[in-house]
């Protein structure tokens, strides 16, 4: 499995699936990887659950520029977790049918 640091994406290929660049390295268990885009409510609940299970996660606000321009909360998050926990978190998300990358 490879990892592209600029996009925080783990992938099987030789190019980052997001930007297409080739500067990949081997992924480590400690790398924070993009797992999914989730809506705000689900993201907040998921973060609480993961923190209770002692799983590190980061939620980055994500959405349209119009909401940012008016200083409104963005409608979703990009969810990042350590690579070692990524499959477990994907299973949780699949059970709820959220958007998975």
- Please state, in angstroms and rounded to a whole number, the distance separating the CA atoms of residues 12 and 78: 21
What are the domain boundaries of the chain? 2-100
**In this structure, what token pair is assigned to residue 1?**
């499995």
pLDDT, one tens digit per residue, over 15-50 is: 999 999 999 999 999 999 999 999 888 999 999 999
pLDDT, one tens digit per residue, over 44-95 is: 999 999 999 999 999 999 877 777 667 777 889 999 999 999 999 999 998 8
Indicate the burial class of 16 (C-beta count within 10 angstroms; 0-12, 13-18, 19 or more): buried
pTM of the predicted structure, to 2 decimals: 0.85
Q: Alpha helix locations (H) across 3-99?
A: 40-52, 65-69, 83-96
Q: Which residues contact residue 18 at a Cβ distance below 8 angstroms, ignoring those fewer than 6 apart?
A: 4, 7, 9
């Amino acid at each position: 499995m490879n990892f592209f640091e600029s996009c925080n994406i783990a992938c099987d290929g030789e190019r980052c699936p997001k930007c297409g660049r080739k500067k990949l390295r081997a992924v480590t268990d400690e790398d924070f990887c993009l797992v999914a885009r989730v809506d705000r409510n689900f993201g907040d609940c998921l973060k609480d659950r993961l923190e209770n299970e002692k799983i590190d996660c980061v939620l980055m606000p994500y959405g349209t520029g119009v909401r940012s321009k008016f200083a409104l909360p963005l409608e979703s998050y990009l969810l990042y977790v350590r690579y070692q926990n990524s499959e477990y978190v994907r299973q949780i998300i699949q059970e709820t049918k959220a958007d998975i990358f």
